Amino acid sequence: MTEQNSSALRVAVIGAGPAGIYASDQLIRNEEREVYVDLFEQMPAPFGLIRYGVAPDHPRIKGIVKSLHNVLDKPRLRLLGNIEIGKDITVEELREYYDAIVFATGAVRDRALNIPGVDLPESYGAADFVGFYDGNPRFDRDWDLSAKQVAVIGVGNVGLDVARILAKTAEELKVTEIPDNVYESLKNNQATEVHVFGRRGPAQVKFTPQELKELDHSDNINVVVDPEDIDYDEASEEARRASKSQDLACQILEGYAIREPKLAPHTLQIHLFEQPTEILEKDGHVVGLRTERTELDGTGNVRGTGKTTDWPVQAVYRAVGYRSEAVPGVPFDTTTNVIPNDGGHVLANSGAEHVPGLYATGWIKRGPIGLIGNTKSDAKQTTDMLIADAVAGNLTPRTHEGPEAIVELLDARGIAYTTWQGWYRLDAEERALGEAEGRERKKIVDWEEMVSHARAVPVCI
């Protein structure tokens, strides 16, 4: 970080996912105030769900990190990783070092689904499985993939990611950045039938057309939709007319419903108008999923028909949405699971008044919906507000001066923080591991190993 004068603003951005990185970029590029940003991240590596959410067989999307590199290379931005705000440093403490704080802490956990049987051992949250296959050090390293028939609940892109990873072969995925432990588990995957369930119809699915189409790209997967599951009411037709993307998704589903079955070892069937009501158990293990048939009620919503079906499956994955977590010391709405805010300005729990100097952006601001691109416009709204507050003199100035003050605190606490230079070292190591096997990257999954590469002192010859 370059020298700065004391009239410059110092801002802490919490969370180095896309929202935090875009917000940091906008802050340091604004023309009204000189701003220096410290970007705090709890993981040893940056990029949030781009690294630990986007599926490994989506290299084009993962490639967004290349454009984010340009931001993190900038001199007024400093990455401080391996630091959990709220635990290693409190928000109250941070306020002494910064004029404003932007929370971009995203979401990593599963939203709850309250149906009987949800606590059975083979009932899995999608976020846990994603954390596993994307090599997040906070999640399990082994996964039981002995189920031959599997259900995935949820008709959004995360459900499709989970279904696709379960339906592909380990060899298909070996070319990606998956770590060895993930490949070893996937090699034992016995799933030949993957059933995806949604309670509403084709005009209500949340899949993006691209993800839906992509299912068919694997020679190992026969995608099936029952023609009975294609149905529209007046509101559904309106939804198709209103959204090109929704209409395209409907067309792709219709295409799957009418075509000849493809000869492939694995079947991935998308079931619509089937509302999951119970995960069935025998001797403490999953043996099926019960669903109730639904029908459109004319408004695009559905009602139950009372007709139930038991699907024999030995594992159930719940992809019904992600959930954000509270950061200690920051207001949090436990109903909507976001930081209460007014377009980005944090609001006190008790009511509508602003908490001076605190802002939110990304999934923690508006909930876990939307693509990486959406976080950019969202961040702009938040950072414009912050700069306007700074210009109006509405921020409470920091009491500690200079960029080194916070580093002294980290050092005094013995926190093994990682930096942007450290990411270059870890990145080089992962690329070297991948190159040795003819792929672009192989992820390092062990936390301590990540930190030790990131903090390694370069050898000068």
Site for ligand FAD in 17-36 (CB under 6 A): 17-20
Residue 370 as a binder of ligand FAD (CB under 6 A): the answer is yes
One-letter identity of residue 165: I
Q: Among 107, 196, 387, 444, which residue sits at the site for ligand FAD (rule: CB under 6 A)?
A: 107
Residue 84 as a binder of ligand FAD (CB under 6 A): the answer is yes
From the list 99-107, 113-121, 180-188, 445-453, the region that binds ligand FAD by CB under 6 A is: 99-107
E strand or H helix that includes residue 256: helix 244-258
Tokens of 103: 């929370």
From the list 153-161, 187-195, 248-256, 272-280, the region that binds ligand FAD by CB under 6 A is: 153-161
Instruction: Pick the closest to residue 36 from 405, 402, 408 (CA basis).
Output: 402
Q: What is the spatial distance between Cα 172 and Cα 169, in angstroms, rounded to a whole number? A: 5
One-letter identity of residue 392: A
Residue 298 Cβ vs ligand FAD, minimum distance, rounded to whole Å: 33
Task: Outline where 289-399 has alpha helix (H).
Answer: 363-366, 374-391
Q: Among 44, 56, 106, 154, which residue sits at the site for ligand FAD (rule: CB under 6 A)?
A: 106
Total chain residues near ligand FAD (CB under 6 A): 36
| Smaller CB separation from ligand FAD, 23 or 280 | 23
E strand or H helix that includes residue 288: strand 285-296
DSSP designation for 378:
H
Site for ligand FAD in 316-335 (CB under 6 A): 322, 327
Q: Which class for 103: exposed (0-12), middle (13-18), buried (19 or more C-beta within 10 A)?
A: buried
Residue 371 as a binder of ligand FAD (CB under 6 A): the answer is yes
Q: Among 10, 11, 13, 15, which residue sits at the site for ligand FAD (rule: CB under 6 A)?
A: 15
Residue 81 as a binder of ligand FAD (CB under 6 A): the answer is no
Q: Among 158, 270, 330, 444, which residue sits at the site for ligand FAD (rule: CB under 6 A)?
A: 158
Residue 53 as a binder of ligand FAD (CB under 6 A): the answer is yes
| Smaller CB separation from ligand FAD, 106 or 340 | 106
Residue 105 as a binder of ligand FAD (CB under 6 A): the answer is yes
Q: Among 11, 12, 13, 14, which residue sits at the site for ligand FAD (rule: CB under 6 A)?
A: 14
Output b/e per residue, 123-142; b: 16+ Cβ within 10 A. Answer: bbbbbbbbbbbbbbbebeee
| Smaller CB separation from ligand FAD, 99 or 378 | 378
Q: What is the spatial distance between Cα 346 and Cα 103, in angstroms, rounded to a whole number? A: 9
Strand-pair partners of 89? 85
| Smaller CB separation from ligand FAD, 104 or 320 | 104
Residue 158 Cβ vs ligand FAD, minimum distance, rounded to whole Å: 4
| Smaller CB separation from ligand FAD, 58 or 439 | 58
* Contacts (Cβ under 8 Å, ≥6 apart) of 220: 167, 168, 169, 172, 264, 265, 266
Site for ligand FAD in 222-281 (CB under 6 A): none
343: left (phi over 0), alpha (psi -120 to 50) or beta: left
Residue 290 Cβ vs ligand FAD, minimum distance, rounded to whole Å: 26
| Smaller CB separation from ligand FAD, 8 or 329 | 329
φ/ψ (deg, to 5) at 333:
-95, 110
CB 148 within 8 A of CB 190: yes
Whole-number Cα distances in Å, 154 to 211, 226, 292: 14, 17, 15
Q: Among 332, 363, 417, 423, which residue sits at the site for ligand FAD (rule: CB under 6 A)?
A: 363
Whole-number Cα distances in Å, 108 to 53, 322, 344, 379: 9, 6, 20, 19
Q: Among 27, 35, 39, 41, which residue sits at the site for ligand FAD (rule: CB under 6 A)?
A: 41
| Smaller CB separation from ligand FAD, 222 or 383 | 383
DSSP designation for 266:
E
Q: What is the spatial distance between Cα 417 and Cα 40, in angstroms, rounded to a whole number? A: 10
Residue 61 as a binder of ligand FAD (CB under 6 A): the answer is yes
Q: Integer distance in angstroms from the first to the last C-alpha of the chain? A: 26
Residue 166 as a binder of ligand FAD (CB under 6 A): the answer is no
Residue 104 as a binder of ligand FAD (CB under 6 A): the answer is yes
Binding site for ligand FAD (CB under 6 A): 14-20, 40-43, 48-49, 53-54, 58, 61, 84-86, 104-107, 130, 157-158, 161, 322, 327, 362-363, 370-372, 375
